[in-house]
A and B are shown apart, each in its own frame.
Chain A
Amino acid sequence: MMKGLKKWRLFSLLAVLTVFLAGCGQEELSTLLPAGQVGQDQFNLLLLSSAIMLFVILVVVVIYLIAIVRFRRSKLGEDHIPEQVEGSHKLELVWTIIPILLVLLLAVPTVYYTYKLGDVSAMGAVDDDGNPENLVVDVTAKLYWWEFEYPDLGIVTAQELVVPMDEKVYFNLLAADVKHSFWIPAVGGKLDTNVENVNKFYLVFEKDSKNLKDGVFYGKCAELCGPSHALMDFKVKTMPRAEFDQWVTAMQATGENQVVANPAGEEIFQQSCIGCHATSGVGETGAVGPNLATFGDRNRVAGFMDHTKEDLIDWIKYPQKHKPGNKMPGFDGQLSDSELDDLAEYLMGLSVEK
């Protein structure tokens, strides 16, 4: 009975905290609505630390309020000379030891989770047939876009990461120019993409992105990287493993037979764009511009603009206006309106999901 009561109390405290912390935020990018084990672990740590810290704040505020109410000179009289107390060993011990205990209470799970979330030993493991046991994605951050290569599957995409649900997905992170930081707030904490060394970590995706407002999770660059740092967004699609396998098969097929929505547009693409952009998803990392094999399936143009033909044409004409400092030249004046129209139609038709 007592034990049940205690549990109930703890539960209600946690529930209050949950409401307090999770009151707001949007599912596709809030750290307070974790969509996977890593984010959940971090959220638990947030709850624990918040509870401890709220306790500390409460104690301080209570002593503080009593002191400033009780010991005002207006109450005690102008001439009151208080006793000049030097200190109290007992009290000072109390407020040294209790904080130490509180810190330990937080330090133990902190160390545990640090090692747990830092464990990438299963990366690259193979089963008896020599097939990789885990999905590995190589992320390359560039000014101001993201390239995602699946080295074991021979495919590469950009701006929209596609991952299977309910398994550990391992990431190799690197920056191609200046330092960036890879962050999917709803799924788990960030890790920097350094210029000189590969960082490794894993994330677990436990929510299907289909049910979200835009059908994607939001990813962010979290390290100042230049003028358009704020616009260096990417999106994440999560799907059950079977669907993911279909997506991979379709991607692997983009090398040979591709649906061409507008042949004239394809021709313009071959003349003006192919130098930097590939339309085949087969390949490796290292392209000058984002891979466009799945362009028609994407949620945004350039990571942040509406996925409409008008916005796409505007982007092609004036990329520097929309994303200052990016590496794409503007095509205003170089392509006529009808050419841009054909090109946009062609790009919007590039799809592996339809």
Chain B
Amino acid sequence: MSSVAQKKGFGATLWDWLTTVDHKKIGILYFLGGGFFFVVGGIEAMLIRWQLHKPNNDFVSAGLFNDLITMHGTTMIFLAAMPILFGFMNAIVPLQIGARDVAFPFINSLGFWMFFFGGLFLNLSWFFQQVPDAGWTSYASLSIASEGHGVDFYAIGLQIAGGGTLMAGINFLVTIINMRAPGMTYMRMPLFTWTTFVASAMILFAFPPLTVGLFFLTFDRMFGGNFFDHTMGGNTIIWEHIFWIFGHPEVYILILPAFGIFSEIFSTFSRKRLFGYPSMVFATVLIGFLGFMVWAHHMFTVGLGPTANAIFAVATMAIAVPTGVKIFNWLLTMWGGSIRVTTPMLYALGFIPSFVMGGVTGVMQGAAPLDYQLHDSYFIVAHFHYVIVGGVVLGILAATHYWWPKMFGTLLDEALGKVTFWFFFIGFHMTFLIQHWLGFWGMPRRVWTFMDGQGWNSANLISTIGAFLMAIGVIVLVYNVIITSVKNVKVANDPWGDGRTLEWAIESPPIYYNFPATPLVRGLDTVWIEKMEGNETGLTPAEPIKDIHMPNGSIIPILMSFGLFIAGFGAMFRTEESWGLPVLIFGLLWTFVAMAARSLQDDTGYYVKKDEILRDLKRKGGQK
């Protein structure tokens, strides 16, 4: 399959990618899709900052500004950060646990295509000039009052993409529970696998509330439901609760995989076992639990009363403890190690101070009475960008450089990588550090302009300059990706030289069935253990080479998702266009037919024959 891919024509290659169920290819699809939306969200961010670089600017109109902030937040969270993380999970987690694929390859593909079509649906709103404008939180009274189809695009687009996310979460849970290689006990799993596991469990519990909330919103806006209409007995505060019961765990769904990425990087480039591995695992699980118990700290100013505020304040502060444990474990991993500052390690080193800053401001906002001042001011804008950019995005950039060889078989240019880092890192702090003070000085968030004479001018200008530095960093990264791909210098199994986990014991990128023979795992950092005992390959097989069962590719996932995409437009224009209702029915039927086709089809996969595996091994120079 992949060995002959280069000889195939364009059409065959395209068909291969559209029908693939290979976790590595789906990982790349997620990465590319998320990367595209990251650029879109980034351009929106640049427009926002340009509008705010001086007082009374009229670069964009008031309405367009609200479109931009809504789409920036929604895009970055749902369509950039999550999919890119899913990309790494897909590409790496099965390798780390010694599996040949995820548990449900078909659903994996369906999850990707639903994300893709959901994201496309949401962003097509720009071409209809009816863009979501009620903020990424879409608080009910405003989202119900919002005119045009903007918020409908938000509700339906996220519904489709959210379904994909839920599937991906379930898939990873089952994969990690069931598909670990012999000897890979829970307490031997690499931290990235652990954090994927916990994040997936959180997806399982956090996304259904979002689904329900979005259905309520859709029904309110399109079918005359009254869930959030207080004049008809509904209640807008319910939306806030539902949204944040999803929304707060969502923050941890994003940050935990980033923690996992950094754990791998600190350990690899300190050439040392992760310090306090059991407490790292425990802290991850604890954060997962506590993440569900603090949602109302987003609502301290809603008027829930002092008792609710006090309880949620203390619960919020409690999260600082396991997070602190993680920070100190990372520091002590470096302590006594042998630190090599590669580009991924540079990102990890930049992450510690950035994330600590974001963490401590989080605790400050946890102090409810203080939050009355900070809430919905620029302080909160600074805080969550410190957490999301200083944590998640630095994690994503670190992982991009770290796992690039494993995903694409080439090594990104280290010098350019460091240039990207410094532009991005300095720009990031320049953009967001000063925003804490803007908040202190009384500047509310989500303002499309500000009057002169309030003492905010220079701080906003500094912030805008910083944002453009970040943009330069990203442009250098894109350039780096392009020249690396053009040069196409293939690398060995472990280009970093210090790999500790299973993905570094197989070729880059791995052959489509990953492991010729399932490996035997003998401890935490099994590849490191093997290497220290003199086994150059880093692998001990757990079975003889034999036929491997593999799933067939399928075009059905993309068709199924496309049906929902069509139905979305039908639902939206149901009452105002004559084609609305038929299109809604047609789209749903399309999806049901695709589902039926899948159910009735007897697809039991195929076998990779032993001879072929031996041939592959021989071509690679044989396995010792």
Using a CB–CB cutoff of 8 Å, the interface residues on chain A facing chain B are 21, 24-26, 29-32, 39, 41-42, 45-46, 49-50, 53, 56-57, 60-61, 63-64, 66-68, 71-73, 76, 80-88, 91-92, 95-96, 99-100, 103, 106-107, 109-111, 113-119, 173, 175, 177-179, 181, 183, 185-186, 188-192, 194-197, 199-200, 218, 220-231, 233, 304, 324-325
Contact = CB atoms under 8 A, between A and B. Distances in A.
Most buried by B among A61, A113, A223: A223
A114 B306 contact: yes
B288 to A, nearest CB: 17
B454 A324 contact: no
A96 B321 contact: yes
A228 B376 contact: no
Nearest to B314: A107
Contacts of B376: 181, 183, 190, 222-223
A274 B444 CA distance: 33
Contacts of A46: 364, 370, 373
A106 B363 contact: yes
A230 B449 contact: yes
**What are the 9 closest A-B residue pairs judged by CB atoms, nearest first?**
A189-B372, A118-B306, A185-B442, A230-B447, A53-B360, A87-B276, A199-B303, A196-B230, A29-B442
A224 B446 contact: yes
Most buried by A among B235, B341, B367, B370: B370
Which bucket holds chain B's interface residue count?
35 or more
Interface string B7-45: 000000000000000000000000000000000000000
A85 B335 CA distance: 10
A73 B439 CA distance: 42
Nearest to A98: B324
A194 B236 contact: yes
Contact of B279 (A76, A92, A117, A220): A92
Contact of A118 (B145, B309, B331, B448): B309
A60 B335 CA distance: 13
B485 interface: no
A190 B142 contact: no
Contact of B372 (A42, A63, A197, A229): A42
B444 A220 contact: yes
Contact of A195 (B236, B275, B303, B356): B236
Nearest to A48: B367
Interface of B: 61-63, 66, 133-135, 139, 141-142, 145, 230, 235-237, 270-273, 275-279, 301-303, 305-306, 309-310, 313-314, 317-318, 320-321, 324-325, 327-329, 331-332, 334-341, 349, 352-353, 356-357, 360-361, 363-364, 366-373, 375-377, 437, 439-442, 444-451, 454-455, 532
Contacts of A173: 303
B331 A67 contact: yes
Contact of B272 (A85, A100, A179, A195): A85
B135 A224 contact: yes
A114 B277 contact: no
A99 B320 contact: yes
A248 to B, nearest CB: 28
B363 A25 contact: no
Contacts of B450: 230
Contacts of B444: 183, 220-222, 229-230
B71 to A, nearest CB: 14
Contacts of B361: 53
Contact of B62 (A63, A100, A324): A324
Contact of A87 (B135, B278, B377, B532): B278
Contacts of B442: 25-26, 29-31, 185-186, 218, 220
Contacts of A115: 306, 310
B370 A45 contact: yes
A185 B373 contact: yes
B236 A196 contact: yes
A83 B62 contact: no
Nearest to A103: B317
Contact of A42 (B61, B273, B341, B370): B370
Nearest to B437: A24
A203 B61 CA distance: 35
Nearest to B299: A192
B364 A49 contact: yes
Contacts of B145: 177-178, 226
A190 B455 contact: no
Contact of A26 (B276, B278, B454): B454
A235 B137 CA distance: 28
B331 A60 contact: yes
A86 B275 CA distance: 6
A179 B325 contact: no
A186 B455 CA distance: 14
A337 to B, nearest CB: 25
